[in-house]
């Protein structure tokens, strides 16, 4: 049974920490981007180093007070806010922003958990290297949160998830002990992999305080194209053709539907549309090639091959870095257009590539039988991660349909499960999807997860109610 972070506990915690470590609970620490949850907290602890993090955790363990880790506050499943239960300590890593070291010859960078993702990008670029994790929120999200949620983004096709970009961790466990695991090794088979256990655990098994990150060479030449395809099936065939021809040179392959472009026209008319008439489906293809290869020529050849195969009907190849950036601006502003329209139910899902066309067709038909919804299906086709969002009819607000949200979510998630997919592709479980994990999760895996949680956090103080029901 947890105790609240009441005034008496906060006073004791303040005595154990340097002056200025604790701060008031302001709205930024208890709100999340979609407005689905509002959290609570007894105080915000903002330590400056791992030893101070350990002090906070030890004090909370001794008093059996819950801890909610807070990175950049950008999570979309409520993992960073605790809406009910005894008041927790909100543990913010925002003061721990240092880039501790860069090893260009090893392709390694060591960053503290509070480092903003964009700052990690800049530090890598200064060493003539690339840190390829790329997210819409990279100007505000922090690397600790990226690892805690195993963030994905647009480059997973080529470089993998956050998990694949991490070599080692420094972390504080639930008893306040510090794990010094900041190794720079590609091979280390010394027992259980605690690193991969903590990555994706959303702060429920330990608090990540720093990470050894894997860097890559910066591609010598980059290019992008928008190509109109008849269907998601045609898009998948084009993806296979692109990878056959260019292998790992394909950095990203994004699917964009007409509804996303319609929402942009409605809410952000200043965003320039690529085609006079919005196509039913198009893909954004991004290339990063080594010296001696020309991305424009490669994309032209791919378009011609796709045209010959009946896969594409129109296309635009970026002729400059500015035009490439404009293509990406279209893709990256679709979530903002979605937010302005207001989704009844949003779904971050993964489906095996070969199942995607049938899933999209079946889900659309099932939703049409249930109501006159607008569907915006888009996302990272290259790795099977779709953002499948359901909106009210034009002229209606999402609040008019709050009573239908659970029904819509269940309909979509049941179909995802039937196609062998996942109801959480890159956003995590948080508090939003705890019930979904119980409904669709493998019973043996869930039992193992609960056993691991009990072993590493027997008091249940780390992010109570996230991932697993408290």
Q: How far apart are the two ends of the chain, measured CA to CA in Å?
A: 10
384 in the same domain as 261: yes
Contact 274, 317 (CB under 8 A): no
210 in the same domain as 140: yes
Angle between helices 356-370 and 232-246 (to 10 degrees): 160
Domain that holds residue 151: 99-217
Q: What percent of the chain has pLDDT over 90?
A: 98
Question: Each residue of 115-158: pLDDT tens digit?
Answer: 999 999 999 999 999 999 999 889 999 999 999 999 999 999 99
129 in the same domain as 190: yes
Q: Let me know if residue 128 belongs to a domain.
A: yes
3-state secondary structure of 85: coil
Q: Let me know if residue 449 belongs to a domain.
A: no
Question: Is pLDDT at 247 greater than 90 in this prediction?
Answer: yes
Q: Let me know if residue 470 belongs to a domain.
A: no
Residue whose C-alpha is closest to residue 23's, from 120, 105, 89, 97: 89
DSSP 8-state secondary structure symbol assigned to residue 193: -
176 in the same domain as 46: no
Note the pLDDT of residue 34: 82
CATH of the domain at 117: 3.30.465.10
CA separation for the pair 228, 389 (Å, rounded): 21
294 in the same domain as 401: yes
Question: Each residue of 399-432: pLDDT tens digit?
Answer: 999 999 999 999 999 999 999 999 999 999 999 9
Contact 5, 61 (CB under 8 A): no
291 in the same domain as 236: yes
Instruction: Work out the mean pLDDT of the chain and round it to a whole number.
Output: 97
Q: Write down the pTM of the prediction.
A: 0.94
Q: Which residues of 79-102 are buried (b: 16+ CB within 10 A; e: fewer)?
A: bbbbeeebbbbbbbbbebbebeeb
235 in the same domain as 192: no
296 in the same domain as 158: no
Task: Give one word for 73, left, alpha or beta, with left for phi > 0 and alpha for psi -120 to 50.
Answer: left
> If 0-12 CB within 10 Å is exposed, 13-18 middle and 19+ buried, where does residue 353 land?
middle
232 in the same domain as 201: no
409 in the same domain as 287: yes
411 in the same domain as 342: yes
Residue 460's contacts (CB-CB under 8 Å, 6 or more residues apart) are 2, 66, 453, 470
Q: Let me know if residue 332 belongs to a domain.
A: yes
Residue that terminates a domain, selected from 94, 120, 147: 94
Q: Let me know if residue 385 belongs to a domain.
A: yes
Question: Each residue of 269-302: pLDDT tens digit?
Answer: 999 999 999 999 999 999 999 999 999 999 999 9
Residue that terminates a domain, selected from 94, 111, 146: 94
Q: Let me know if residue 430 belongs to a domain.
A: no
CATH of the domain at 318: 3.30.70.2190
Instruction: Identify the band that residue 360 occupies on the pLDDT scale cut at 50, 70 and 90.
Output: very high
Contact 124, 131 (CB under 8 A): yes
**Structural domains in the chain (count):** 3
Residue that terminates a domain, selected from 371, 399, 418: 418
Residue 145's contacts (CB-CB under 8 Å, 6 or more residues apart) are 69, 71, 72, 74, 75, 80, 113, 151
Q: Let me know if residue 131 belongs to a domain.
A: yes
Question: Each residue of 361-388: pLDDT tens digit?
Answer: 999 999 999 999 999 999 999 999 999 9
Please, which residues bridge with residue 3 across strands?
A: 65
Instruction: Identify the band that residue 316 occupies on the pLDDT scale cut at 50, 70 and 90.
Output: very high
Question: Each residue of 317-326: pLDDT tens digit?
Answer: 999 999 999 9
CATH of the domain at 64: 3.30.43.10
140 in the same domain as 225: no
Q: Let me know if residue 463 belongs to a domain.
A: no
């Amino acid at each position: 049974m947890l105790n609240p972070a009441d005034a008496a506990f906060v006073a004791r915690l303040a005595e154990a920490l340097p002056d200025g470590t604790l701060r008031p609970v302001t709205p930024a620490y208890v709100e999340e981007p979609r407005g689905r949850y509002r959290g609570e907290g007894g105080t915000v602890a903002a330590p400056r180093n791992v030893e101070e993090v350990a002090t906070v955790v030890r004090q909370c363990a001794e008093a059996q007070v819950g801890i909610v880790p807070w990175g950049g506050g950008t999570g979309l499943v409520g993992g960073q806010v605790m809406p009910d239960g005894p008041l927790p300590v909100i543990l913010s890593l925002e003061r721990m922003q240092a880039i501790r070291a860069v090893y260009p010859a090893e392709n390694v960078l060591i960053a503290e958990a509070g480092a903003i993702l964009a700052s990690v990008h800049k530090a890598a670029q200064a060493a003539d290297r690339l840190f390829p994790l790329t997210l819409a929120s990279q100007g505000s999200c922090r690397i600790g949160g990226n690892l805690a949620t195993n963030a994905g983004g647009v480059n997973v096709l080529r470089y993998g998830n956050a998990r694949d970009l991490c070599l080692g961790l420094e972390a504080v466990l639930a008893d306040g002990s510090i794990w010094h695991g900041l190794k720079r090794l590609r091979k280390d088979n010394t027992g259980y992999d605690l690193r991969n256990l903590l990555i994706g655990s959303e702060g429920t098994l330990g608090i990540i305080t720093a990470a050894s990150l894997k860097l890559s060479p910066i591609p010598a030449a980059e290019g992008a194209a928008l190509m109109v395809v008849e269907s998601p099936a045609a898009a998948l065939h084009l993806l296979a053709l692109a990878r056959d021809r260019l292998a790992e040179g394909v950095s990203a392959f994004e699917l964009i539907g007409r509804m996303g472009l319609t929402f942009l026209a409605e809410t952000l008319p200043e965003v320039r549309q690529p085609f006079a008439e919005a196509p039913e489906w198009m893909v954004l293809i991004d290339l990063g090639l080594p010296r001696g290869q020309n991305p424009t020529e490669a994309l032209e050849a791919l378009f011609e091959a796709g045209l010959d195969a009946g896969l594409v009907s129109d296309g635009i190849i970026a002729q400059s870095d500015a035009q490439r950036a404009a293509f990406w601006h279209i893709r990256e502003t679709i979530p903002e257009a979605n937010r302005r329209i207001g989704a009844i139910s949003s779904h971050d899902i993964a489906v095996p590539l070969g199942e995607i066309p049938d899933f999209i067709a079946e889900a659309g038909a099932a939703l049409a039988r249930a109501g006159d919804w607008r569907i915006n299906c888009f996302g990272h086709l290259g790795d099977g991660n779709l953002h499948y969002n359901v909106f009210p009819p034009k002229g209606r607000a999402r609040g008019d349909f709050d009573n239908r949200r659970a029904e819509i979510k269940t309909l979509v998630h049941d179909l995802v499960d039937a196609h062998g997919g996942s109801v959480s592709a890159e956003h995590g479980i948080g508090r939003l999807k705890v019930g979904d994990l119980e409904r669709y999760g493998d019973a043996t895996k869930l039992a193992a997860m609960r056993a691991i949680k009990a072993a590493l956090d027997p008091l249940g103080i780390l992010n109570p109610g996230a991932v697993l029901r408290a």
